[in-house]
Chain A
């Protein structure tokens, strides 16, 4: 296929006309990650045509930069825009504005466009700077129109006939997206713990100085159509327990420990596969010192914003220093943002999803090898959250009866322990064997959560605060 257009960074008159409309449209999108800031202006960073400009529908890939009234840093996003001279009625909800006499809309809503995207991947096509690549040695899905997955948070996905899912990364970040990178690596290991990668769309991110760096536009994966996430399943179990009162977690029908053990096995397997695929290293004392310093820096950020953390700075520091207790630390690529919501239960077992890492960290931070105990600690934190979230939701603000708190703690303890059992069964390494290190990672995460909840969800603040105190007391 010949390229109908290379990457253009010069002003595109048609798209320039659309930019004012984007100022109003962006904050209405679920994936728009800066809802707490007021959009000031939208700037076109670059664009390339996927079809000719007069095609019906025409498709354009655009990278935009968003400025805010707070004069803080700009955010960069990518869009797949469709345009038509006349709109079929069922696309009305996706309209953004008009430009050059055509209506411009969110292209992912248009079945003809999503069909085109899939066919370009399946046929291994390059269009200008955009490379549509199928994953080698995978069975291509049948090309057809896709439909948008609703209810998603930070990215936008399209489902193809319950077989495949195309995820458009909304934030435009330079470099290979770790989600794509790690799925590729795990695919080479024939992992059954992740949804197999089927292909990707890769592009170029203009650097504003006439050059560009590679970026990941989208990735195509197997779609686990019949699945439920671990977070909602865990909450089901907690609800079942709290409704009893007189029964303990191992006595109620909704016991989650079996699933927690299977989850532990799944995460353990993913770690082994990541280690095999991308190698391991051993941090020496200086390297471990670096990890500790990184944690202490994060503590400082939190302490500045949250008095409860500042008051406990010394005690927290003592626990975080525990990471240096080990005379070295084996590190490899990890998931980086593991929690119950990143795990899907399917009829064939658990899948781990979303290997992008903690969204607030830089790419360099996210791809840095780290101890697998960071992921384990994050899961243990997630069990705590699940146990106490239900109490917080029930009567926001009210103090729960102490026996319910006790039940919730028992649930967390039982499932944390079951998770570690499953993990140890697969890896041969019980995470609880390095208790000081594990606790340091867990407290690091809790301190970060305290900051996050203070800023975003004050109702939930009690959950990480409580854990923070427990982790300090136990050490």
Chain B
């Protein structure tokens, strides 16, 4: 037990924290750069090991910079976030996902890491981070953070050493070449800004390889010392108590001649090594892969299905999200049905992460050219709404602030197979600011109150890192947590209620997914079913109307003949399922969640 911190707050769940803290180990730092050890810090209290927690969890992506500012400098920070944990616990969030908060020159939103073992000055200190994790754990919430393994900032000491001294201990930490012709098969990801994956470094007199921005040199994972150094960076944070990592840009770790440099066997073998470290030394912690690929390729990142998966525990399902948007615009279930039919089975211990929006643009890499043009036309009417190959908008403005659609989309997110990842601010329907550069339009400060700076900070408004959204529809005076907390009909309360219902049924997180079809192509209906070890069946039926018009649907529920559907938000029993197709009518963009149970079991 770490005395002195993490005393918990009133009303916090009694987490039976164990006194054991994994003994921090000496980092085998290569000579030349001295890096801090986790021993130099206290560790957060631990939550009990709970295998599979990530399969049931509701995740919440929160940007430290944008959530709450505790020291009036205009930047959100870790103590500010810690202060808001009660709100997140109230909402029902199980796990917070923090994009990078490491020391960084911030030329790519912190994904350009300058020091893996240091917190960005504006955000606070490592001690602040430990306190934050400790307080989250005190409320039963877990924390995962982004880790970028593929590359560092060009200001990282490793890179500075590498370019300065090719023969030194870091000389081989990056991918250097005398010319820029190798691996031309590898595509350029940031097509808006980069013209090559090679950039010339005048200090070393060689080209260095970078799959992303030219200020983000790729690490050389063919060098065993790089692998060791990266695993030690992971251990550093795991020792301090975090519950896992979202591994950013994971397909690109290695380069090989004649390949596109994505999803190489060497990358998978390194991930298996990382997984083994987690399983052996930090049981219950998770790895979440960010691999923006087709599901058939992404499943490789779960590893060997024979052993239940031996690489990442989770991976994002990227193509699902644009398909949800497309299905509703087309009033047809098939965009969703198609991508789910193309999604392979995943190993026993694996889980998809699904989302509607996140800090990046609404990614359109995983749709055809036709579909992309269509999505641009429908959802990005102003060219400024586009970024790279995607659309930079928040959920509410994407849906014209239509409450029915917001509810339908969220109901899909919370009921389709996978663990839902909410994006901060979407629970109150925050807007975006498309006039801000790059992807900052969806990273504006959280709107807490109708007061100055939306309650995000008490600093001089001019000091704010990013401006508060002020337009008449989405501005902080119209859309904020305080006002919505006080109205039980608000979107915020609705979201909280739906999360609560989701948690009452294990089928949402753990159940099989079975699409029911039906003759009405505008209606997407599916059953989630989980049978526990005692043989108890939890069966949830979800029926979604993709059309703005009321629709009837006849569902084939013969497998549950004689059972009774009970609607989950109100508990109203519907007529029992008989021999004939089950007829339902839905309002425009309406949806139903039912629990189906044998009638005598009605509770």
Contacts and interface: CB of A to CB of B under 8 A. Distances in A.
Interface of A: 90, 147, 150-151, 225-229, 232-233, 236-237, 239-240, 243, 253-255, 258, 345, 347-348
Contacts of A347: 334, 337-338, 340-342, 515
Interface in B158-203: none
A253 B579 contact: no
Contacts of A239: 549
Contacts of A240: 331, 547-548
Contacts of B558: 147
Nearest to A261: B370
B496 to A, nearest CB: 30
A331 B93 CA distance: 65
A255 B334 CA distance: 14
Contacts of B554: 151
B308 interface: no
Contacts of A226: 337, 341, 515-517
B520 interface: yes
Given A228-B519, A347-B340, A236 B331 contact: yes
A347 B514 CA distance: 13
A254 B517 contact: no
29 contacts: A90-B579, A150-B580, A150-B581, A151-B554, A151-B581, A226-B341, A227-B517, A228-B334, A228-B520, A228-B521, A232-B520, A232-B521, A236-B331, A239-B549, A253-B330, A253-B378, A254-B329, A254-B330, A255-B330, A255-B374, A258-B370, A345-B521, A347-B334, A347-B337, A347-B338, A347-B341, A347-B342, A348-B338, A348-B341
Contacts of A229: 519
A258 B369 CA distance: 12
Q: Which of A147, A236, A258 has the most CB of B within 10 A?
A: A236
Contacts of A253: 328-331, 378
A258 B522 CA distance: 16
Contacts of A258: 370-371, 374
B518 interface: yes
Given A227-B517, A240-B331, A347-B342, 9 more contacts: A150-B580, A236-B522, A236-B547, A239-B549, A240-B548, A253-B329, A254-B332, A347-B334, A347-B515
A304 B516 CA distance: 48
Contacts of B517: 225-228
Interface string B513-555: 0011111111000000000000000000000000111000010
Contacts of B374: 255, 258
Closest A-B pairs by Cβ, 4 of them: A228-B521, A226-B517, A253-B329, A347-B341
B504 to A, nearest CB: 28
Nearest to A239: B549
Contacts of B520: 228, 232
Contacts of B330: 253-255
A237 B548 CA distance: 12
Contacts of B581: 150-151
A243 B548 CA distance: 10
B413 to A, nearest CB: 20
Contacts of B521: 228, 232-233, 236, 345
A345 B341 CA distance: 13
A243 B550 CA distance: 13
A238 B515 CA distance: 26
A13 B332 CA distance: 55
A209 B341 CA distance: 54
Interface string B304-320: 00000000000000000
Nearest to A230: B521
A237 B521 CA distance: 11
Contacts of A225: 517
A173 B464 CA distance: 82
Interface in B30-49: none
Interface in B456-487: none
Interface string B482-517: 000000000000000000000000000000000111
A450 to B, nearest CB: 29
A254 B546 CA distance: 11
Contacts of A233: 332, 521
A345 B518 CA distance: 11
Interface in B218-243: none
A226 B328 CA distance: 18
A345 B579 contact: no
Nearest to A228: B521
